[in-house]
A and B are shown apart, each in its own frame.
Chain A
């Protein structure tokens, strides 16, 4: 081992001290008892943690295997890399698919979990692959070994335009969901005439607002990841890209975004939306639990995708195993154990979220979302584009368009130019 590696390992060890202080890494204790170590993205007081904790207790009672858990919270994504470098990583951890990919799988540090798909789900006499649809893996980018089975999902999310189906103004403006962009603009016009804003938007957030462009590009057959990967920038010359930007511009220039959206901070407009000041709010489906206590009685949560979108996007929260994990087999057995219906149902009933199993009904307010996720194929939001491309190329230019400071044509031209510079500085 070179001196650099030793210093590197020492630095990494110092970085993971925070986590390893509360729970040891993949250590000998766990191995001796046939158990494993698990770092969770949830804090102990979160409902998901309670569901997983109950399953762990059952796992230990059934198999005798001891599980050493650290409820690390979201910082886990920053700690896992240094932990792996210092050989202090847990045997099992969980995060969203992009975090698992970005922090470990993209660097070839995540174990291929294909064998888990062949394990039987305890008590159900079917393999894991039978209960977790392949479409959730097909949408993921492949790791250097060509696998996209580096995360096994237990919770799935999607992004959509949420609204209150019980709002008479919305029901009058939208008797049936629009099927094309002009239809949506028509709904917006009708709402405007009725004195209600069409879309509530947290103006400072390029991500949720960018989902409109993302879905429009998807509808036009443009893959955002491919668009971003073009070093020459020529992909921006595709007329479909300009057309999608112009459609976004129609929302802005048409005055369909709630007043003052460009001068507030989250959650100001989410609050306005729950107060009925606007009809739609684009966000991940976690918004339903986020506003559960705010919405007035009689609110009926429903959702649609922006019209023309072909493939709904999805995000996963799931288990992953570092490649260097010492007790990987035990961790894999637990993944299969947790996916049995009696435990996974807790994600729906206790954590009020959607599971990847179609035989577990979603909470009532997410019924529409579960229907959306039944599509034959799914995609990642922004087609999984990662790295600094979003902040350095798209986000600020898009916010200028979204705030009405730029035009669709100028947006496309600046993105094209910024993308060329971006790739020149990526090495």
Chain B
């Protein structure tokens, strides 16, 4: 049985490495890499610091003050945060944000998986994918505006339902149905988007894996569970994070479905983004940038936490094929 003796010092000396580098156990390539690391990384880090870290830091600083954006700042410590959590309207906004994230995410991904299952097997799948992707190309605001026409009591949707014998359709545009309508639009636009990304990963999975599974007697669902899901897992995990981050930023849809020309949407339909907006641009009074930024920071902390937890939960050993 052969034995390998590891002796980096001896080989290192033979190649003329310096004593210091030899002690650190670093090769010339690695040393070269380390030397160019900062010159290459610094510009990116600088841009990141100026455009992202500094504004967030400044928002954090603002959130500890009372500030109208023009005059001086009054120090308030953590008072903005305590008031925020005592405000039932903010708690509702947080809950709605989570509802859109979790319920919307669950429906979107279940539908995306179902479509993946079908699309992989079907003919003309490229065409079908284009059709599915189309809604995500359209600006969400178009749906908000079109909804007023489509879902009015005498609109096309109710006319179509009448053909199926539905004589008392729901009041789609009533205040109570606001969040479900927003959710429906979100799912409709996002499903095609995530299906397209997941399908791009599925296309890379070699056919022989599916053939082998089929020979072993696996049905379509089992093939999805044991081949598609594990092989596309990395992409699915990234999609989950993308959804989480984007769902927190939903704003214009709520404003368009629920707002009128004169007023904000009903307060029970606000998410944190709308809450921030109403504090930053209130009607007939000075902006409350302290509470607005505090709400934004809470929202940022929440999405960061959820993303980290999600990454942990979705972490798997990568499968190479």
Contact = CB atoms under 8 A, between A and B. Distances in A.
A323 B266 CA distance: 36
Contact of A387 (B154, B267, B285): B285
Given A82-B69, A84-B70, A263 B174 contact: yes
Interface string B250-293: 00000000101111101110000000001101111111000100
A85 B266 contact: no
Contact of B267 (A82, A98, A384, A396): A396
A266 B261 contact: yes
B108 to A, nearest CB: 25
Contacts, number: 136
A198 B153 CA distance: 19
Interface in A391-407: 391-392, 395-396, 399-400, 403
A102 B283 CA distance: 7
Contact of A109 (B71, B174, B267, B279): B71
A98 B83 CA distance: 26
Given A102-B285, A205-B262, A388 B279 contact: yes
B80 interface: yes
A7 B70 contact: no
Interface in A353-410: 384-388, 390-392, 395-396, 399-400, 403
A184 interface: no
A77 B79 CA distance: 28
Most buried by B among A265, A385, A390, A426: A265
B148 A266 contact: yes
A427 interface: yes
Given A204-B173, A265-B148, A81 B69 contact: yes
B86 A108 contact: no
Given A81-B68, A421-B87, A207 B285 contact: no
B267 A391 contact: yes
A395 B262 CA distance: 11
Nearest to B72: A5
A232 interface: no
Contacts of B172: 263
Contacts of B291: 427
B175 A204 contact: yes
Interface in A72-114: 77-78, 81-82, 84-85, 98-99, 101-104, 106-109
Nearest to A97: B284
A260 B153 contact: yes
B171 interface: yes
B110 interface: no
Interface in B78-116: 79-80, 83-84, 86-90
A395 B267 CA distance: 8
Interface of A: 4, 7-8, 11-12, 77-78, 81-82, 84-85, 98-99, 101-104, 106-109, 202-208, 260, 262-266, 268, 384-388, 390-392, 395-396, 399-400, 403, 421, 424-427
Interface of B: 54-55, 58, 61, 66, 68-71, 73, 76, 79-80, 83-84, 86-90, 147-148, 152-154, 171-175, 258, 260-264, 266-268, 278-279, 281-287, 291
4 shortest A-B CB distances, which residue pairs?
A386-B284, A265-B148, A207-B262, A263-B171
